[in-house]
Amino acid sequence: MAVAIETTIKTASQTQISIQPVVSENISKVRNLNSVLFPVRYSKTFYENLLQPNYFGRLAYFNAQCVGTITCCKQPLGYADVKMAGMREPSERCEMYMMTLGVLAPFRRMGIAQSLVKCALETAAEDPSIKRVVLHVQVGNDDALGFYHKLGFVTTHTVDQYYKHIEPSQAYDNSDKTAQQTEAATTKQTLPPPLEEDDEFEEFEKENWDESEEDKEDLALWDKDWDDDDWEDDFSKQLRVELDKLSQPQPMSVSN
C-alpha cells in the first residue's frame, strides 16, 4: 500500500544540472557515489565494463559538483526476463537494462534523476536494435515505482528471489511503454512530459555485487578497509563528510 508523504519540492534549472559521459578519467566518481548510495560494493569488473561499447554510464553534476549517476547495459532482448547462458552479447534484437540509478540525498527532488533517465531513454531511442528499456524495482519501493511510471514505464510482472541480501527479495520487472505498443516502434521513443518532482530513491542490480567473503560479512555503506586507495581522492573524502550529514540534511537554497 502506497503512503502519501508531504514534502518540500526543490527545483533546479537546467543551467545548474549537467550530464556527462562516464570515461576512464571520471570512473572513480561512479565508484565513490555507489559507495554512498548503495548498501553493497560492486566488483571491479562492473566498473571495467562501464567503459566498454555496450555499456552506458552518465554522471550528473549540480553546479559543478558530482551528485548522481546512472549505469545501463545493452543485452539480448529478453535477457532480463530469462537469464541466458554465457555473456551478455547483444544481437540484432536487444534491450537496454538499467543497472543503477542514484542521487545524493541533499540533491534529490530537483529533477536530476529524471534528467539521467531521459538521457538513457534518448540514447536507447537512437539505436535501432534496442527494442525496449527494462529495469527492476524492489517490491515495496513505492517511490521508485511511481517515479518510473511517471516516466512512461509499466510493471509487467514480479520476479521472486531477485535480491540475495535484502528483504523483500522480490522485484518488479518494468519496461518502457513503447515496447508494449509495438516492437518495431522503438527507434524513436516519445518521451513523457517533465515531472513535477523527482522522487527519492536508489536502484541497484543484484548480479553485479562483489560477493567476496569480506563483502558478505559487511554490506555497510562504507567499508573502511578499501582494496585500493588510489581512487579515494578528495571527492571521496568530501562524500564521507556529506554522508555524515544525511541524517540531518541542512536546508539548501536553490535559485530558479
Mind listing the domains of the chain with CATH numbers?
17-213 (3.40.630.30)
- The pLDDT, as a whole number, for residue 15 is 64
CA distance 123 to 139: 28
Contact criterion met (CB below 8 Å) for 73 and 111 = no
Active-site hit among 136, 148, 162, 172: 136
pLDDT (tens digit, 0 to 9) for every residue of the chain, 256 residues total?
233 333 333 445 556 899 999 999 999 999 999 999 988 889 999 999 999 999 999 999 999 999 999 999 999 888 766 554 444 555 678 999 999 999 999 999 999 999 999 999 999 999 999 999 998 888 888 888 889 999 989 887 777 767 666 665 555 556 665 443 333 222 223 233 333 333 334 444 444 444 444 433 333 333 333 333 333 344 444 544 454 544 444 443 333 3
Model-wide pTM > 0.75: no
Active-site hit among 42, 79, 97, 163: 97
The verdict on whether 148 is a catalytic residue reads no
Q: How does DSSP classify residue 6?
A: -
- The pLDDT, as a whole number, for residue 159 is 73
The verdict on whether 172 is a catalytic residue reads no
| Cis, bond preceding 168 (omega within 30 deg of 0) | yes
Residue 64 cell numbers, joined: 559543478
- The pLDDT, as a whole number, for residue 38 is 87
- The pLDDT, as a whole number, for residue 16 is 87
